[in-house]
Amino acid sequence: MTSINNEMVDLRSDTLTKPTQAMREAMAAAEVGDDVFGEDPTVNELERRAADLLGKEAGLFVPSGTMANLLAFLAQSRPSDTLILNEEAHPFNYEGGNVAMVGGLLTRTISGSLGMMSADEIRPFVKRSSDHHFSQTTIVSIENTTNRGGGNMYSVEAIAEIRALADEYGMRLHCDGARLFNAVVASGISAADYVRDVDTACFCFTKGLGAPAGSILTGTHDVMEEAHRFRKLLGGGMRQAGILAAAGLHALDHHVDRLTDDHRRVQQFREALEFVPEISFPMATPTNIVYLDVPDAEIFQSETAAGGVRLLATGPGRFRAVFHLDVDDAGLEKAIDVCKRAAGRCGKG
Ligand SMILES: *Cc1c(COP(=O)(O)O)cnc(C)c1O
């Protein structure tokens, strides 16, 4: 795989990957059945495999990460309860307000660093009381890796402390692990160890894993049974979904270890731009996402685009670059060159 120099290098998101030829072949060859009847062998295999990988009793294949998070909340809370999550969290920022509309939940957002929260930061906001004035805080959601937090990762110890707090107050704990496997390969911590202390955990096949659709939610049989009911209710029951599940199985076999390549390229990208005076890096970059700040966002965006490199504008003067399956070393070199030249045109900040 070499990218010729006039090909666009698209760093806006790791969701932009196209299925490889081998993945398409695995999809075409998938054995399928009607999954609403529970009869799609490939979906069943993927759910079993994902649950085993995460050390949970059961898994549920869903169309998107958005649905996985929503089902985790619906299955483990009641309308009028409060959900605690970081103010940068995906379900708060990018899921259309579904927790309010569909879940009937209040959200209590917390401003922990890099998209994460500590047990001590959460504690003051927990309300569990027989006083009928209060909405009951029944669920906490953490994100690993953090999307708006620069792809940063929790320690297992920090998650264990949140677990202890959740137990103290009888709260459920969910992990939005859209990029869980980026955390796994970067830390060397197994997926099962990483989610040991949460009740439910999901991950996306569509990010670094490179599949065209689908996420998995995992947890106990009871909670997954409830989530399954809500999946149908929301229109997420898919029929011969084994075509998609086959892409997920292929991704688990072939696209997990290679995430280290994305992490290496992010480091090379950052190191090459670290001394460019117009560019600064607001956050640590341990996985595949890097944020950069520039003095003139408009010029930077138009100059990079003209050079054939796309970045995502995420805030005033702030851009995100995400490395993924469809960016090779030639793409990396091109991204570095184009960003350097574009920064030079931005003037001093
Ligand atoms: C992408 C993402 C999701 C879910 O996204 P979908 O587009 O609905 O699959 C959830 N959480 C995080 C942190 C994400 O990055």
Q: pLDDT digit string (tens) for 298-336? A: 999 999 999 999 999 998 899 999 999 999 999 999 999
Tell me the C-alpha distance between 310 and 13, whole Å: 10
Q: Is 14 in the pocket of ligand 1 (CB under 6 A)?
A: no
**CA 188 – ligand 1 centroid, Å:** 23
Which of 67-71, 75-79, 111-115 is predicted least confidently? 111-115
Tell me the C-alpha distance between 183 and 153, whole Å: 6
Q: What is the mean pLDDT of residues 107-124?
A: 97
Assess whether pLDDT exceeds 60 at residue 2.
no
Tell me the C-alpha distance between 230 and 228, whole Å: 5
Residue nearest (by alpha carbon) to ligand 1 atom 3: 65
Across the strands, what pairs with 137? 82
**Whether the Cβ atoms of residue 145 and residue 285 lie closer than 8 Å to each other:** no
Task: Say whether 219 sits in a helix, a strand or coil.
Answer: strand
Q: Is 141 in the pocket of ligand 1 (CB under 6 A)?
A: no
Tell me the C-alpha distance between 109 and 246, whole Å: 37
Rounded (5°) CA angle 28-29-31: 115
Tell me the C-alpha distance between 77 and 79, whole Å: 7
Q: Which atom belonging to ligand 1 lies closest to the Cα atom of 95?
A: 8
Which pLDDT value is given to residue 1?
44
User: Smallest Cα–Cα separation from 150: which of 261, 274, 284, 259?
Assistant: 284
**Mean pLDDT score of the chain, rounded to an integer?**
96
Tell me the C-alpha distance between 154 and 197, whole Å: 12
**Whether the Cβ atoms of residue 312 and residue 320 lie closer than 8 Å to each other:** yes
Q: What is the mean pLDDT of residues 96-111?
A: 98
Assess whether pLDDT exceeds 80 at residue 3.
no
User: Residue 346: pLDDT band by 50, 70, 90 thresholds?
Assistant: confident
**Whether the Cβ atoms of residue 58 and residue 224 lie closer than 8 Å to each other:** yes
Q: Is 204 in the pocket of ligand 1 (CB under 6 A)?
A: yes
Provide the sign of the torsion angle of the four alpha carbons 45, 51, 57, 59, taken in this order: negative
The set of long-range contacts for 300-305, using a CB threshold of 8 Å and a minimum separation of 24, is 300/342, 300/343, 300/345, 300/346, 303/338, 303/341, 303/342, 303/345, 303/346, 304/338, 304/339, 304/342
User: Residue 5: pLDDT band by 50, 70, 90 thresholds?
Assistant: low
202-217: per-residue pLDDT in tens? Answer: 999 999 999 999 999 9
Q: Is 177 in the pocket of ligand 1 (CB under 6 A)?
A: no
User: Smallest Cα–Cα separation from 92: which of 126, 46, 150, 141?
Assistant: 141
Answer left, alpha or beta for residue 110, where phi above 0 means left and psi between -120 and 50 means alpha. beta
Q: Is 147 in the pocket of ligand 1 (CB under 6 A)?
A: yes
> What distance lies between CA 132 and its chain's CA centroid?
36
* β 200-204/172-176 pair status: parallel
18-54: per-residue pLDDT in tens? Answer: 999 999 999 999 999 999 999 999 999 999 999 999 9
Pocket test for ligand 1, best of 13, 17, 64, 66 (most atoms within 8 A of CB): 66
Assess whether pLDDT exceeds 50 at residue 349.
no
